[in-house]
Every structure is written in C-alpha cells, then in structure tokens.
Structure 1
Amino acid sequence: MRLPLIAPDALTEAQKPLYADMKAGISEQFDAFKTVDRNGALLGPWNPWLHEPKIGGAVWELTKAMSLHSVLPDNIRQIAILVVGVDFDAAYEIYAHVAIAESDGLGQARIQALLAGEKPDDLTPDEETAHDVTFALLGGGSLPDDLHEASIKAFGAKGTYELITLVGLYCLVSVTLNGFDVPVPDEED
C-alpha cells in the first residue's frame, strides 16, 4: 500500500468531516465486506480519497449519488462492477463486490464466470445487456448504437445514463485502488 492508513486521531481538520461522512455512508451501504480496520482507519478506496479531501470528497459525492439514487437493480449493478473490477484486476474492488454479489444472491457459478472474464451463460436479457454494455465501454471507443438501444430498451434513458456513469465511476475506483496498491484486508485486521 502506497498511502498509510489514517487513524481517526490523526485526521486533519479538513479530513474529519469527510471521514465522518464516508464512515456513516459506508456503514449504511457497504456492510458485506471489511471497510474499516481495528483502529478505525478506512480501507479500500476511502483511504486514498481521505488523503486528498477536496478531490476525494468529490469522488465520494459521486459514489453516494450513484448508490443512494440508483434506478438499476442490484444484480445489474454488480455485474457491471465485477466486469470492471476484473478488467482492471483491482483486488479490493473484486473482493468487495464479490461479497456484495454473494449477499445479493447473484450465484457462485455466475460470479466465478465473471471472475474468469467470461460472460455467464445463464444471464437474463437485462443482465446480458448490462454485461455487454460494460464490456464494450471498457474496450474503448464509442458505445455501439445497438448496445445503446438495447440498454435504453432494458433500463430506460435514466438507467442507461446510470449504467454508463457506473462503469466510469468504477474505472476510477479501480485506477485509484491499483495506483495506490490498495490490498485486500487481512482477516485479523
């Protein structure tokens, strides 16, 4: 890990409100995996965001908006997030979202296929659309018209906007995790 964890008693005045907001949001939204160490330091992408509160706070606001105002079903979100995490080989993202996908009932066979970089063969049409849109966006270039139209049909304009933005957000999360070499937490942490 390239940035030290920041214990609550070492927070600067600029970091304290962001820490409090992230810790509260994390406890409401992300309880299927380890997000805080035994000293109260935030793990995952939240630690790097905390190091630079102006930038990290902006990313956190986007993360909250994407989580609290989602129109996409959880299975669609988790498929997209796992496709991104696997593409970037972002260890903490994969760790966290496998846990969420398991708690959401995505199924081990589907999760294992996604982790292998494959499209599960039992996806619903909407899940397949989410997978294909995500995969296409990760490949670069403009999203093909047929996939955009399929997404509009499956999720509506707002859901399509959310899916595209979700892919972008988790690309940012993955790059943050990889750039700062954020590990999966040890069991005893």
Structure 2
Amino acid sequence: MRLPLIAPENLTPEQKPLYDEMRKGIASNFNAFKVEAENGALMGPWNPWLHSPRIGKAIWDLTLALTAEATVPDRVRQIVILAVGARFDAAYEIYAHVAVAEKEGMSPERLASLTADLKPVDLAADESIAFDLAYALARGGVLPEPVYRLAVDTFGQDGVNELIFLVGLYAMVSVTLNGFNVPVPERE
C-alpha cells in the first residue's frame, strides 16, 4: 500500500465531508465486502480518493451517478465490472465484486471464468453482449461496430451509454487500485 489509511480523527477539513458522504454511500451501495479498517479508515479506492479530495469527490459523484441512475440489470453490470477488473488484474476490484456477485447468486463457475479474464460459457444473451462490450473496450481501441449495434439493440442507446461509462469508471478504479497497490483484506 502506497498511501496510508487516514483515520477519521486525522481527516482535514477538506477530506471530512467527502469521508462522511462516502461512508453513507458505501453503507447503502457497497456493503458486500470489507471497506473500513478497525479504526474507521476507508480502504479500497476510497482511501486514494480521500488523499486527493477534489478529484476524489468528482470520481465519487460519478460512481454514485452510475449507481443511482442504473438501468442495466445488476447481474449484467457485475459481469462488466468483473471483466474490467480481471483485464487490469485489479485485486481489490476483483475481491469486492466477487463478493457482490456471490451475494447476488452468481455461480462459482461463472466467477472463475470472469476472474480468469475469460468469457463464461453460460451467459444469457444480454450478459454475453455486455461481456463482449467490456472485453473489447478494456483492451483499447474503438468498440467494434457489430458489438456496438448488438448492444444498442439489446440495451437501447441509454443502456449502451451506461455500459460504456461503467467500463470507463471501473478501468479508472482498477488503475487507481493498481497504481497505489491497494491491498485486499482477508475474506471472512
């Protein structure tokens, strides 16, 4: 870990409101995995965001917007997030979203494929298209036209926008986690 965790009593006046806002949002949206140290310090991507609160607030606002305004089913979103996390080999991202996916009933076989950066064989049609979109975008370059058209036909333009933004957000989260070497807590 390259940035020390910030205990609540050590937060600056600029960090404190962001910390409070993130804790509130984490409690309602990101509660399937460990996000807080014993002393109340936030772990995962939230710690680097607190170290740079102006940028962290912008990323947090985007995270909340993509969560609150979600129209794509969460089972599809988790496939996209795990595909991106696996591509970047972002350990905390994989840890966190495996926990979310398990809580939602995703099979161990599917999780094994996704975390190995492979396409699961048992995906529904919409899940398959979302995986292909995430897989292609996470490798760089223009999204292939056939994938884009299938995604629009399946999710509508707003749904495709959401998926593309979701890939971008979780690519940024993964790079943040890897750049700051954010550790993974022990599974409970």
TM-score with structure 1 setting the length: 0.97
Q: In the TM superposition, what whole-angstrom CA distance separates every residue of 1:26-54 from its partner, at most 9, and x where no partner exists? A: 00001110011110000100000000110
Q: In the TM superposition, what whole-angstrom CA distance separates every residue of 1:87-143 from its partner, at most 9, and x where no partner exists? A: 111010000000001111121111111112211111001000000001111121111
Q: Which residue of 2 aligns with 1:59?
A: 59
Q: Percent identity?
A: 57
Q: Which residue of 2 aligns with 1:27?
A: 27
Q: How many residues align?
A: 188
Aligned equivalents of 1:89, 1:76: Cα separation in 2 = 20
Q: In the TM superposition, what whole-angstrom CA distance separates every residue of 1:10-30 from its partner, at most 9, and x where no partner exists? A: 000000000000000000001
TM alignment of 1:136-175, pairs within 5 A: 136-175=136-175
Aligned equivalents of 1:187, 1:140: Cα separation in 2 = 32
Aligned equivalents of 2:82, 2:122: Cα separation in 1 = 16
How far is 1:186 from its partner?
A: 3.7
Q: Which residue of 2 aligns with 1:72?
A: 72
- For the aligned residue pairs, the C-alpha RMSD in angstroms reads 1.0
How far is 1:187 from its partner?
A: 5.7
Could you list the structure 1 runs, at least 4 aligned residues long, displaced by more than 6 angstroms after superposition: none
Q: Which residue of 2 aligns with 1:41?
A: 41
Aligned equivalents of 2:27, 2:154: Cα separation in 1 = 31
Aligned equivalents of 2:162, 2:44: Cα separation in 1 = 23
Output the amino acid matched with 1:178: N
Q: Which residue of 2 aligns with 1:105?
A: 105
For structure 2, the 5+ residue unaligned runs are: none
Aligned equivalents of 1:64, 1:117: Cα separation in 2 = 26
Aligned equivalents of 1:52, 1:177: Cα separation in 2 = 14
TM-score with structure 2 setting the length: 0.98
